[in-house]
Amino acid sequence: MTGRGVDQALPHPGAPELHEEYVHDARTYLLLAERANGPIARPVDPSWPWGDGLAEMDSFGPALRVMNLETSVTRSDDAAPGKAVLYRMSPDNLGVLDAARVDVWTLANNHVLDYGAEGLRETLDSLRAAGLRAVGAGLEETEAWRAAAVPANGDGRRVLVASVADVSSGVPRPWRAGAGRPGIAVLPDLSDATAESMATRLLGECRQGDIAVVSVHWGSNWGYSIPAAHRRFARRLIDAGVHVVHGHSSHHPRPIEVYRGHLVLYGCGDLVNDYEGIRGYERFRDDLRLLYLATLENGTGRLSSLRMVPLRARRLTLERADPSESGWLAQALTRSGRELGTAVDLGHEGALHLRPA
């Protein structure tokens, strides 16, 4: 969520005016962060919001990096009417995205159209001009539903990533892309038929040995409970041949499932945002963030291991979490993951490791 307060800290902030009920200037979110954790020397370097997360990603050396970009990238002031929270960042600050060297940005979420169709058009044009690959949104239906195919490991195999959203995340249904209508890939529902259709569409683009990932924006912002409909939908995707389900929308990490050997992330939590200093949900410790570093088996796409790196947000950057904070995350994910059959251990190096409960 590199818009709003984060954008204001970067070298080329956009207009700070907000159309929110309680906050009318994006710089207010900077002041809240400073009040909570100390002054932020502005402007910050484009790598600042990622902090220690960059070195952690580099040391793992992933074949592919996938992240959800939950903001519009636009100078448009055509704010979506009646929406409580609005995110935009300046196109001149795209260096912050480039710094993370992400291979695929997913856009099917409840903020990419916060500033209208023209805001979406500028978002897509800006990302394309910066050489940043994005999926899940488009100027018409076919483009919005098209998956990204990225070579992996230089051996001819690829990872295909599709980005979709469910209305349970706050996505307005009219945001769905149509024939000649800009928008995002909004699921009609979470039925078995929709899951099978989604899998068929994605797998139809796969070649032998490819990995298929469905990135889905769904669910509420807070809480550990996983709706039965989400579990059923994720499992139907796996049954139909998808290898990984990458879920997000919650502002904190949610429990993880391994279904038939395949990874299902129901809610990754935020990695970068401007929520420091906002009160009301302290019990979820949304200042604690996770990098999910998954290793998959060649040929099958089954999960070999999942290592998670705990980070803490402070002064709009990410620092390595201390042992007590990492232990808190491990306990929270173990408690909430019991029903899904998973537990999380704290390793001696400070990382979290997924195991069967």
Phi/psi of residue 45, nearest 5 degrees: -65, 150
Is residue 116 within 8 A of residue 144, CB to CB? The reply is no
Between residues 20 and 8, the one the model is more confident about: 8
User: Does residue 28 sit in helix, strand or coil?
Assistant: helix
Tokens representing residue 283 in the block: 């019990």
* The dihedral formed by the CA atoms of 318, 102, 107 and 75, expressed in degrees to the nearest 10: 70
Does residue 156 register a pLDDT over 90? Answer: no
User: Does residue 81 sit in helix, strand or coil?
Assistant: coil
Query: Residues 70-129: pLDDT tens digits?
Result: 999 999 999 999 899 999 999 999 999 999 999 999 999 999 999 999 999 999 999 999
Query: Residues 164-197: pLDDT tens digits?
Result: 999 999 999 999 999 999 999 999 999 999 999 9
Write down the mean pLDDT value for the chain.
97
Q: How far apart are the C-alpha atoms of 78 and 83, rounded to whole Å? A: 12
- In sequence order, the 6+-apart residues with CB closer than 8 A to the CB of 221 are 249, 250, 251
> Domain 5-356, what fold?
Purple Acid Phosphatase; chain A, domain 2 (3.60.21)
Q: Looking at residue 208, what is its pLDDT?
A: 92
pTM of the model: 0.97
User: Nearest to residue 267, comparing CAs of 334, 321, 218, 311?
Assistant: 218
Query: Residues 135-146: pLDDT tens digits?
Result: 999 999 999 999
Sequence ranges of the domains in the chain: 5-356
Query: Residues 311-321: pLDDT tens digits?
Result: 999 999 999 99
Q: Looking at residue 21, what is its pLDDT?
A: 86
Is residue 233 within 8 A of residue 185, CB to CB? The reply is no
Q: How far apart are the C-alpha atoms of 166 and 184, rounded to whole Å? A: 10
Percent over 70 (pLDDT), the chain: 100
Q: Sorting pLDDT into bands at 50, 70 and 90, what band is 152?
A: confident
- In sequence order, the 6+-apart residues with CB closer than 8 A to the CB of 191 are 233
User: Does residue 223 sit in helix, strand or coil?
Assistant: coil
Q: How far apart are the C-alpha atoms of 158 and 128, rounded to whole Å? A: 21
In order, the DSSP letters of 322-339 are PHHHHHHHHHHHHHHHGG
Q: Sorting pLDDT into bands at 50, 70 and 90, what band is 153?
A: confident
Q: Looking at residue 301, what is its pLDDT?
A: 96
User: Does residue 129 sit in helix, strand or coil?
Assistant: helix
Q: Looking at residue 282, what is its pLDDT?
A: 96
Does residue 299 register a pLDDT over 90? Answer: no
* The dihedral formed by the CA atoms of 47, 53, 58 and 59, expressed in degrees to the nearest 10: 150
Q: Looking at residue 154, what is its pLDDT?
A: 78
- In sequence order, the 6+-apart residues with CB closer than 8 A to the CB of 349 are none
Query: Residues 195-219: pLDDT tens digits?
Result: 999 999 999 999 999 999 999 999 9
- Between strands 211-217 and 158-165, the pairing is parallel
CA contacts within 13 A on the Cβ side of 174: 5
Distances (CA, A) of 62 to 102, 104, 292, 293: 10, 13, 11, 8
Residues facing residue 108 across a β-bridge: none
Give 3-state DSSP helix, strand, coil % of the chain, rounded to 5: 30, 25, 45
Is residue 319 within 8 A of residue 311, CB to CB? The reply is yes
CA contacts within 13 A on the Cβ side of 317: 19
User: Nearest to residue 198, comparing CAs of 236, 230, 225, 172?
Assistant: 236
CA terminus-to-terminus distance, the chain: 32
